[in-house]
Amino acid sequence: MDSKFFLMTLMAASALSVQGNAQQLEYPETRKQEHFDEYHGVKVADPYRWLEDDRSEETAEWVKEQNEVTFGYLNAIPFKKKIFEDLEKAYNYPKYSAPRKKGEYFYFYKNDGLQNQAVLYRQKGLNGTPEVVIDPNKLSPDGTTRLTVFSLSKDGAHAVFGFSKGGSDWQEYQVMNMKDLSMLADKVEWVKVSGASWQGDGFYYSRYPKPDGSALAAKNENHQVFFHRVGTAQAEDRLVFEDPANPQRFHTVGTTEDEEYAVLTVSDRGKGKDGNGVWVLKKGESRFVPIREEITDASFRIIENIGADFLVETNDNAPNGKVMLFKTAGRNWETVLSERKEPLEYAQLAGGKLFASYLKDVTSRVSVYDPKGIVESEIELPGLGSAAGFGGDKEDTFVFYTYTSFNYPSTIFRYDIASGKSSVFREPEVAFKPSDYETKQVFYPSKDGTRIPAFITYKKGLKLDGTNPTILYGYGGFNVSLPPAFSPTRIPFFNQGGIFVQANLRGGSEYGEKWHEQGMKLKKQNVFDDFIAAAEYLIREKYTSPERLAVQGGSNGGLLVGAVMNQRPELFKVALPAVGVMDMLRFHKFTIGWNWIADYGSSDNAEEFKVLYGYSPLHNIKAGGHYPATMITTADHDDRVVPAHSFKYAAELQAKAGKTSSNPLLIRIDTNSGHGASNTKKALETQADIYAFLFRNMGLTWK
């Protein structure tokens, strides 16, 4: 028999098997209610509004019934166990963070391999014996309590630890005596969107008032800044700043390395402003002095103080970013690093030098300058990938950084400031041979002709004949770039003949603020067009076909997947929207969702409503439509993009297309997890289910 004919016959038989399985699925009946909202003269139905109540028994029962169907389907896939075993094997190697020096100690995180949480260690000198500072795995029976913040006092005597339970964004802060590693009685609650910045015998932090109603869904307003003095109760904390007249602003405070200044940053994204204002408070004084008072779309970040002056990273009148020196005495600005054609990724001081990382076609280029902006050297990186780190104090003689790419496991380097030389400090022990895999960067035209970059990775020797299972991943929003990065959970997929594609869509920061602006608010459709064009390119160039193509994205990327599967359902075999923003008319009603108005716009605005309503995943599902095999993933403790988005979307998708689509339309709802997996085990279980769902619906077997 002709091999090609045999393959086509096998694929057809497998597809029939999958379709038969899907048709036997009986989705839970989701109650509808008569509910309409009116937006600028348009009546919009919201029949599943009741699913927004995360505390109701009816919602809990709905979640249980949906999970019974979903896990019944997933657990019947015969090769799912093999996938999980392969993922565990690939992931089971020691993973380290770059060390950070404080006093005589170096601090770092390490996960032995399959630990649910990384453990914080310290050691005296680089060759000292590591000792455990805190092991988050011991803080909860299921390993879902995470360490979110670790901030040492300047003298290293105390540290603030932030903990998150079950994947929630809410944090609780505690204080440790670093001499004997004992916890003090200090406890700070209801912390969110905050760090911990020391000054003397205490630290600044930001919090919200205790929420009324659901802690995981209630709108968060009136972000306050407090100062906590070690050894006192939270009730005694000093209120440093609040602005009740503008309840949807973020207020955060950091301190300079010498602790001479507290730096207040204020953003107003709830009113559609993409930038921020900056104020400083000199130690011993009582009034914040503005460096930038007006809040517009321009961003300002104080890198460090130089005496009474401030080194500032900004995109004010410089879409690609620049570094300026704010002269306090004359209140004037001097240019330190001028804007370049490549966007500035970040800039920071360490060891008396200014490290600046630029993106050239989404890959890192790092240069070293003196504080006045005179270039001294460019750091030679191993290839086209991503470099991060370079943090340190003024007296440091070396810094650490991490380099990674799709086929280059994360490796920690030590950079000697005097010689300008890098050396490998710690190589990963992962069972992965980079030379066996290939990563290429391609550029393809979007609908309007814009040139869009994408990275394509697969095992060398793979035949590009249009039959390869392919995952197309994207984000496209919030000025966030998707740089090259290694993931051990992709190794088993590559070894099964899979292709992973990461598209760098408009809306991110890959090419500066202009690239971001081309994918936000009224121009959001550009992001969807970029993603659709990527799929068409992959099919055209024979990497894959519509029967073997899956689209994946999380959060804003979940919105992306929901939108494109509404607009071009025939282009994809599998859709994997994770923790997505699916209700574009009500996203600002929950937790800190109002913060996204700066990127999306708001249904309160007539012009923006029209655009939002036109692509909102929830509101554009077609009755009787034939959709890709869809597995929505969310979690019960996601208080960033509340699970109601996914609940309502799944209910609508099943109601309108459950009887006409030949593919399964499922929702997988994790417990004790949040916007991301709350521990390693949950992450691997979710990934195993994704691969199993993908291969099952592509008519493939995991070998």
Residues with catalytic annotation?
Answer: 555, 675
DSSP assignment letter at 157: S
Q: How far apart are CA 349 and CA 214, in angstroms?
A: 42
Pairing between β-strand 574-578 and β-strand 629-635 as defined by DSSP bridges: parallel
From start to end of 268-394, where are the E strands? 276-282, 289-292, 300-306, 309-314, 322-327, 332-337, 344-350, 353-360, 363-369, 375-378, 386-389
According to DSSP H, which parts of 273-327 are helical?
none
- DSSP string of 216-227? TTSPP---EEEE
The residue type found at 308 is A
* Sign of the four-CA dihedral 601, 584, 588, 674: negative
Question: Which residue, among 527, 574, 526, 582, has the nearest Cα to 554 in the 3D structure?
Answer: 582
- DSSP string of 625-680? --PPEEEEEEETT--SS-THHHHHHHHHHHHHHTTT-SS-EEEEEESS--SS-SSH
- Residue 149: strand pairing partners: 162
C-alpha atoms less than 13 angstroms from C-alpha of 278 in its C-beta half-sphere: 22
Q: How far apart are CA 282 and CA 289, in angstroms?
A: 9
Question: Which residue, among 665, 698, 667, has the nearest Cα to 22 in the 3D structure?
Answer: 665
Angle ∠(272,274,275) on CA atoms, nearest 5: 130
SS3 (DSSP) at 113: coil
Place of tokens 């994204």: 269
Burial class (CB in 10 A: 0-12, 13-18, 19+), 123: middle
Tokens of 201: 């015998």
Contact 402, 413 (CB under 8 A): yes
Q: Which residues contact 335 (CB under 8 A, 6 or more apart)?
A: 322, 323, 324, 325, 373
* Sign of the four-CA dihedral 310, 313, 314, 317: positive
Q: How far apart are CA 249 and CA 242, in angstroms?
A: 9
Q: How many C-beta neighbours within 10 Å does residue 508 have?
A: 26
Q: How far apart are CA 364 and CA 378, in angstroms?
A: 11
Q: How far apart are CA 118 and CA 207, in angstroms?
A: 26
